[in-house]
Amino acid sequence: MTLVGRHLVQPADFSVEEIESVLDLGLRIKEDPSKYIRVAEGKLLATLFYEPSTRTRLSFEAAMNRLGGRIIGFSDPGASSVSKGESLEDTITTVSNYVDVIAMRHPISGAAIQASKACKIPFINAGDGKNQHPTQTLTDLLTIKACRGQLNNLTIAMCGDLKYGRTVHSLAKAMSRYTDTKFIFIAPDELKMPEEVLNDIEGINYEQTASLEEAIGKCDILYMTRVQRERFEDKAQYERLKDTYILDVEKMSKAKENMLVLHPLPRVNEIAVEVDQDPRAKYFEQAQYGMYVRMALIMKLLGIGE
């Protein structure tokens, strides 16, 4: 089925085959970006960011610029008519009169599906609260595919804030559709993977532990996450939990030689800077894959230039 005109609110909106087609195009773009510099000429992307971002917003904007398209939008909702009380639906309906595709980030879980229902052009969820972050998942999948050459038969450990981290919710659901995936969820009791995500991956082999040291030698991918300060009501609890896991050179010495360390970023303390020199640390490369996969996604949704 074609992806032209579709919305992306969560990874399950696309079939495995459709995701593969985006990843394959992302890899082709990375091989020779010069082939694609004009394909989106005359097209406009709106980036509507109701919550802070570095990678997602700037990689979307870099992606559209590198395709020859143009961008409008806001990164401070206080400077838009949202500050006058305009509804999400009215904002989306209005902006969809001006542009060809919208990428929106919002602090409220469920805002993306709500916005997509009001959107008559392709709508991309760029992260909604603690719910989903599907373009981060496309980024993660492309990084794994490029660096490991496969998405099947992998043991993926996810470590840190599995309760509030939307990236791990999306990635767990997406990876559960590949053959022989195994998960190790590493979190303290307060930040364990939510039941609804565990229900969604029913039938998939997973274990839960609080020990990074025990798990690190068993995984092919170690997906580190930040404890999400902005989602805690109890700030004292955040302070207590924020440094539960710190990946350092000593812990890396217990990992497989071909293990990959991924992180959606931003990093706070959970990966020591000394790990950046380890060839298994792929998180900055991952951020670059994010731009290529967003170029591919924009092209697919707009039906341009392949």
Give the binding site for ligand CP (CB under 6 A): 53-56, 127, 136, 264-266
122 versus 165: smaller Cβ distance to ligand CP: 165
Is 55 marked as a binding-site residue?
yes
Is 105 marked as a binding-site residue?
yes
55 versus 66: smaller Cβ distance to ligand CP: 55
- Is there a contact between 154 and 130 (Cβ–Cβ < 8 Å)? no
Alpha helix (H) ranges present in the chain?
16-31, 55-66, 88-95, 111-117, 134-148, 166-175, 195-200, 212-215, 235-241, 249-252, 283-302
49 versus 178: smaller Cβ distance to ligand CP: 49
Task: Compute the distance between CA of residue 101 and CA of residue 82 in angstroms, rounded to an integer.
Answer: 20
Q: How far is the CB of 9 from ligand CP (least distance, A)?
A: 16
Please, which residues bridge with residue 237 across strands? none
Is 251 marked as a binding-site residue?
no
Is 58 marked as a binding-site residue?
no
Is 133 marked as a binding-site residue?
yes
- Is there a contact between 174 and 137 (Cβ–Cβ < 8 Å)? yes
104 versus 265: smaller Cβ distance to ligand CP: 265
Is 166 marked as a binding-site residue?
yes
Q: How far is the CB of 140 from ligand CP (least distance, A)?
A: 10
Q: How far is the CB of 286 from ligand CP (least distance, A)?
A: 9
Task: Compute the distance between CA of residue 202 and CA of residue 261 in angstroms, rounded to an integer.
Answer: 25
- Is there a contact between 136 and 167 (Cβ–Cβ < 8 Å)? yes
In the DSSP assignment, the letter for residue 8 is B
In the DSSP assignment, the letter for residue 256 is -
- What percent of the residues of the chain are helix, what percent strand, and what percent coil, each to the nearest 5? 45, 15, 40
Q: How far is the CB of 60 from ligand CP (least distance, A)?
A: 9
121, HSE (Cβ side, Cα atoms, 13 Å): 20
Is 56 marked as a binding-site residue?
yes
139 versus 155: smaller Cβ distance to ligand CP: 139
Task: Compute the distance between CA of residue 129 and CA of residue 41 in angstroms, rounded to an integer.
Answer: 33
167 versus 181: smaller Cβ distance to ligand CP: 167
Is 294 marked as a binding-site residue?
no
Q: How far is the CB of 153 from ligand CP (least distance, A)?
A: 26
Q: How far is the CB of 251 from ligand CP (least distance, A)?
A: 22
Annotated binding site: 55-56, 84, 105, 133, 136, 166, 226, 265-266
Annotated binding site for L-aspartate: 84, 166, 226
Annotated binding site for carbamoyl phosphate: 55-56, 105, 133, 136, 265-266
